């Protein structure tokens, strides 16, 4: 190798090292958040919406969570929109910044679906640190029939940064009716504060959390290409939806424009939604003692 080639090699290496250490140098895109830190901090406040019905759309769903891997693939039709769910913090406990960057962008629009009952027995354990401190007991339940499909959307055209969009656009949850066995727990109070930038200026809501009504579990839609890294976290995202009671005019009417993020539904038109007070709260849970991996 010539002396000139060697010098060129050293110059190229020096340039790379200089870029790496200079302030303001381009940073690598953040990694996909690990399962337990992300899932345990995702709480969704769900609002009843007016009955908008999307154009006729059928989607094929496959279970992602390892506990439900034996359930069959199914095809469902999207019915009327029933709920809109947005990320919240509980009792002022804000997720750490590297998790908040992802959690704050998880907005889900929930549509009515129908399907056969699975009658799947489970034990649900709370994952969120705030709820765990309240001493909420594990709950034996039975999953019944699917009732909703909740899919990722953006509000008012405000999109997540590209590296975060590539993750949250693949969060799809199929929600099943629940039969809660044993004696239901007593209602417990929580204070909810909005995390998404579009709603960050809205007042906090004082709610009392009642009975669990649904279990929402992760699914993939036919035609959606999900990377192995994204799948490793999304497959652990189970939320139990609990009824909540609020005081009057907690948030006041807010009208939003929703647009679909998942590639399979990107062809659907944008929608308008008006929300008032939350009616349910989605809390992260583990099924049958299978805790999401910490890393």
Q: Report how far residue 150's alpha carbon sits from residue 167's, in angstroms, rounded to the nearest whole number.
A: 16
The reported pLDDT for the residue numbered 1 is: 41
Report how far residue 259's alpha carbon sits from residue 169's, in angstroms, rounded to the nearest whole number. Answer: 11
For 236, half-sphere exposure in the C-beta direction (CA atoms, 13 angstrom radius) is 23
At 212-235, the pLDDT tens digits run 999 999 999 999 999 999 999 999
- Report the predicted TM-score, pTM, of the whole model to 2 decimal places: 0.87
Res 3: pLDDT: 39
What pLDDT is stored for residue 276 in this prediction?
Answer: 85
Return the closest-CA partner of residue 167 out of 250, 80, 105: 105
Beta-strand relationship, 81-90 and 188-194: antiparallel
The H-or-E segment that residue 288 falls in is none
In a domain, 117, yes or no: yes
Query: What's the pLDDT at 184?
Result: 63
CA proximity to 274, closest of 259, 260, 256? 256
Asked whether residue 88 is assigned to any structural domain, the reply reads: yes
Residue 274 lies in a domain: yes
> Quick check: is 24 in a domain?
no
Assigned domain for 7 exists? no
Separate counts of helices (H) and strands (E) for the chain: 6, 14
pLDDT at 203: 86
Kindly state whether residue 140 falls inside one of the protein's structural domains.
yes
Nearest-10 Cα torsion for 89, 149, 48, 211: -70
Rounded to the nearest 10°, the torsion over CA 151, 154, 156, 162 is -170
Residue 6 lies in a domain: no
**Owner of token pair 């998790």:** 99
Within-domain flag for 293:
no
Q: Say whether 103 sits in a helix, a strand or coil.
A: helix
User: Which burial class, exposed, middle or buried, applies to 69 when counting CB atoms under 10 A from its CB (0-12, 13-18, 19+)?
Assistant: exposed
Q: How confident is the model at residue 80, as a pLDDT?
A: 97
Q: What is the C-alpha to C-alpha distance for residues 45 and 100, in angstroms, rounded to an integer?
A: 16
Residues of the chain with pLDDT under 70: 1-30, 182-185, 247-252
Residue 123's domain comprises: 32-287
């Amino acid at each position: 190798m010539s002396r000139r080639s060697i010098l060129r090699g050293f110059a190229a290496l020096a340039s790379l090292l200089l870029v790496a250490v200079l302030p303001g140098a381009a940073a690598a895109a953040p990694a996909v958040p690990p399962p337990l830190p992300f899932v345990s901090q995702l709480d969704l406040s769900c609002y009843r919406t007016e009955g908008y019905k999307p154009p006729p759309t059928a989607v094929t769903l496959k279970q992602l969570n390892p506990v439900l891997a034996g359930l069959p693939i199914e095809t469902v039709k999207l019915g009327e929109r029933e709920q809109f769910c947005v990320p919240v913090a509980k009792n002022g406990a804000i997720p750490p910044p590297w998790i908040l960057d992802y959690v704050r962008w998880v907005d889900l629009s929930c549509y009515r679906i129908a399907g056969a009952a699975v009658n799947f027995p489970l034990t649900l354990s709370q994952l969120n640190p705030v709820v765990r401190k309240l001493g909420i007991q594990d709950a034996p339940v039975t999953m019944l029939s699917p009732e909703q499909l909740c899919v990722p959307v953006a509000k008012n055209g405000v999109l997540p940064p590209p590296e975060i969009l590539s993750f949250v656009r693949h969060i799809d949850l199929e929600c099943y009716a629940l039969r809660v066995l044993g004696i239901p727990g007593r209602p417990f109070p929580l204070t909810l504060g909005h995390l998404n930038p579009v709603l960050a200026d809205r007042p906090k809501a004082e709610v009392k959390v009642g009975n669990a009504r649904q279990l929402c579990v992760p699914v993939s839609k036919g035609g959606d290409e999900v990377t192995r890294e994204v799948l490793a976290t999304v497959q652990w995202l189970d939320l139990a939806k609990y009824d909540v009671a609020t005081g009057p005019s907690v948030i006041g009417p807010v009208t939003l424009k929703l647009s679909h993020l998942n590639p399979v539904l990107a062809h659907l038109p944008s929608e308008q939604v008006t929300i008032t007070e939350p009616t349910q709260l989605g809390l992260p849970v583990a099924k049958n003692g299978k805790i999401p991996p910490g890393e």
